[in-house]
Amino acid sequence: MKKMFSSLLVLTAFASLSLTAQTADEIISKNIAAIGGKDVISKVTSLYMEGSMQVMGNEAPTTVTILAGKGYKSETDFNGQKSIQCYTDKGGWMVNPMAGGGAQPMPDEQYKANREQINIAGVLSDYAAKGFSATLLGKEGNNYKIKLSDKDKTETTYYIDGTTYFVSKVERKGNFQGQDVQIVITFADYKKTDDGLAIPRTMGMDFGQFQLTANYTKVETNKKVDPAIFEMPK
């Protein structure tokens, strides 16, 4: 009887693991369908967004340019001083006016945590092919929590709305101005482009003692992008 009970516990454990994996995949599949589906995603080769960044009560013009699988570049103008974050499939670089203003290579940890931004639909659209594993952590309110991990042990938790299946929030550990922090990014106001791809028009970023919000009023897809814009200035 004791052996039978132990066997049942083992079988139940395996069944739970299988169910968790299937449920995580199912939720991610619904997210992909919600933002437009794999066919739509595959046809969007570039994304350009234009808007403003709210930083500590100040407003700054900002743009984001993505060339699918090749490069991501954000540029924000703070009173004539340009802040740049750039990621490519090979590395990253940045310009921080508060640290001298010149282009500098991206710290390895920061690059690894953000390199998936070169994918227009995000890493969830083909996470397994990119070497990530997905684990369902449960549900918080109406949001499913899914943890993505890669071979570098970089972990990111995605909150996926149980009604719309859009990503509502992302959490991960990071470094901000030399301090280890919990980075929280929120997404809202999803709208579809003419191609049928749903893009969040509002993004909030919380670095602990520093917060900012980006609102995008102009979004263009499949705009011609010169790959040279992702090269670090000499």
As a whole number, mean pLDDT of residues 14-32 equals 69
For the whole model, what pTM was predicted?
Answer: 0.85
Higher pLDDT, 234 or 143: 143
- The tens digit of pLDDT for each residue in 28-42 reads 999 999 999 999 999
As to burial, measured by CB atoms within 10 angstroms (0-12 exposed, 13-18 middle, 19+ buried), residue 59 is exposed
pLDDT tier at 20 (50, 70, 90 boundaries)?
Answer: very low
CATH 3.40.50.2000 fits 2-230, yes or no: no
Phi, psi of 106 (to 5 degrees): -70, 130
Domain spans in the chain, listed from the N-terminal domain onward: 2-230
As a whole number, mean pLDDT of residues 17-36 equals 79
CB 156, CB 176: distance < 8 Å: no
Check pLDDT > 70 for residue 7.
no
The dihedral of CA 45, 75, 146, 135: what is its sign?
positive
Specify the pLDDT at position 177. Answer: 64
- The tens digit of pLDDT for each residue in 175-200 reads 666 677 889 999 999 999 999 999 99
Close Cβ partners of 158 (under 8 Å, ≥ 6 residues apart): 124, 145, 146, 147, 148, 167, 169, 170
- The tens digit of pLDDT for each residue in 64-101 reads 999 999 999 999 998 888 999 999 999 999 998 877 76
* SS3 assignment, position 10: helix
CB 75, CB 84: distance < 8 Å: yes
As to burial, measured by CB atoms within 10 angstroms (0-12 exposed, 13-18 middle, 19+ buried), residue 153 is exposed
Residues counted in the chain: 234
Check pLDDT > 50 for residue 18.
no
Distance of CA 182 to the CA centre of its chain: 15
Give the chain's end-to-end CA distance (angstroms, integer). 74
Phi, psi of 176 (to 5 degrees): -130, 115
As a whole number, mean pLDDT of residues 12-24 equals 48
- Highest mean pLDDT: which of 10-14, 62-66, 96-100, 107-111? 62-66
Q: Mean pLDDT across the chain, nearest whole number? A: 87
Specify the pLDDT at position 10. Answer: 40
